[in-house]
Structure 1
Amino acid sequence: MPVTVLLVDDEPLVRAGLRAVLEAQPDIEVVGEAADGAAVIPLVRQLRPDVVAMDVRMPLMDGIEATRTLLRTLPEPPKVLVVTTFENDEYVYDALRAGADGFLLKRAKPAEIVHAVRLVAEGESLLFPAAVRSLAAEYGNKRAREAMDRAALTEREASVLRLMARGLSNAEIAAELVVGSETVKSHVSAVLAKLGARDRTQAVIAAYESGFVAPR
């Protein structure tokens, strides 16, 4: 089954460019488009995409609120890939905190766009550029540090979280730690459960905000 994608951007040229890049792949299908976040919920209900490629800044409902609404409204929401112009935009970070699963620059090369959609669809990896890591550290707070302390991660779980924060997939973490992929999956699940994180993105945000991982 192909990965199905809904494109959400108020610029027709951006949507057309993304569609052209993605539909050139045999394993990806663009099932719909929207020009504003306000149209996302009805389209997701109708089309059931695996991934929503979501612009951050839109006139009626921005990508942050659209992401929050998706997660609040639907029991099994699609993955959300934030697509934007500036990597150090605080709107991007707010979208990630709201529950977006990954991050992509509009100027990315076609191969990078395809790779990002596949990774987010798999739920394995995280696109977390240095500028966004720095924003996460700036948002650091006592509550995040206390939550990390309460999580009481084991030494191996802590190692897995650090590698997750570097953007490594489960397979790459397994290779780094010289363990099996299933073992890594178990550790990732344990980290998410202990941190009360919905997904890998939320776990990595917690790691940076708490100071557990320092931005490079």
Structure 2
Amino acid sequence: MPSFMHSYIEDIIDVKGDGHCGFRVVAEHLGKGEESHVLIRRALIRELNMFRTDYLSIYGNEKRLQYINDGLYPPKIMPTSGIAPKDKWLTFPDMGHILATAYNKVVVELTKPEIGISETFFPLRGPPPSDPFSRILCLGLIPNHFVYVKLKDGCPLPPTCKEWRIHRAKDAETWEYKFLDRQSKFEELMKIEKGEHQKNEDNPIIVIDDEDEIKL
């Protein structure tokens, strides 16, 4: 995840890395315990199929929607490796919309730019509650694994997934308004971090060893 976010993290909780890790994080956040990850899959399947027409407009075609739906079902037979195949993993941005809407949560994905995109997902339907700041669920993505990230109050948040602005219902638009200042802060800090990274690339450290050889 972006380096500047480290100081805004209260805690990081790891979960079992068996291909169900994204669903395990959600179950842990909800207080169900990570072993209840199948219940999360069921809730997302129910949300997707109850509002299938709405999600079809997001995914573009029936084939893509069905692929996502199939991915929410746990594998019928686990591989001998004990790790669920990739087509059964929690994926963003596709499942971010379903997750945020099913649980009425502000779902945040944090990761490094070289891995993916840090984004915020709001529910597609319904207005925010009186205290939307208590509804944040953050998943940290490291290579091929999710961890549960507990964020500090008032921390910066990544920008909103662009698809949300296109497909959200009218009564859901005020979700984003509540977090705009925090998203602006995130983008400001991200620009600084990217600028420092570029500066380091443009000005590599020169090391001179005992034999006066110059290495870049």
Q: So what's the TM-score if we normalise by structure 2? A: 0.30
Larger radius of gyration: 2
User: Higher relative contact order by CA 8 Å / sep ≥ 6: 1 or 2?
Assistant: 2
> Larger % of helix: which?
1
